[in-house]
Structure 1
């Protein structure tokens, strides 16, 4: 599972890899969405989908 460094949401599909300059390999590879619109779409989708806790609270 890859997470976007910019927005923090999971990336579905293609991702842009950012390999840090580290001789020892101590820094992990970073990933970002290919386009800024994909970050915005991931945020909208996450907000629109209620969490299990939100669903339980609505039933009360």
Structure 2
């Protein structure tokens, strides 16, 4: 949140950070964490194909 009258300064009294842990979003509000819409998407839909290629590649041993 921006401080009133100063567009280059944040107002720490209005700032409410969120932290995402796996599929739950936590904030400063009391009560249980909020759900995430990201948790409803199958992981393979947003994972890069490079991940599967790296897992399929042979493991190289360090040079001696």
Q: TM-score range by the shorter chain?
A: under 0.3
Q: TM-score, normalised by structure 2?
A: 0.26
Q: Which has the higher contact order (CA 8 A, sep 6+)?
A: 1
Larger Rg: 2
- Larger helix percent: 1
Q: TM-score, normalised by structure 1?
A: 0.27
- Larger strand percent: 2
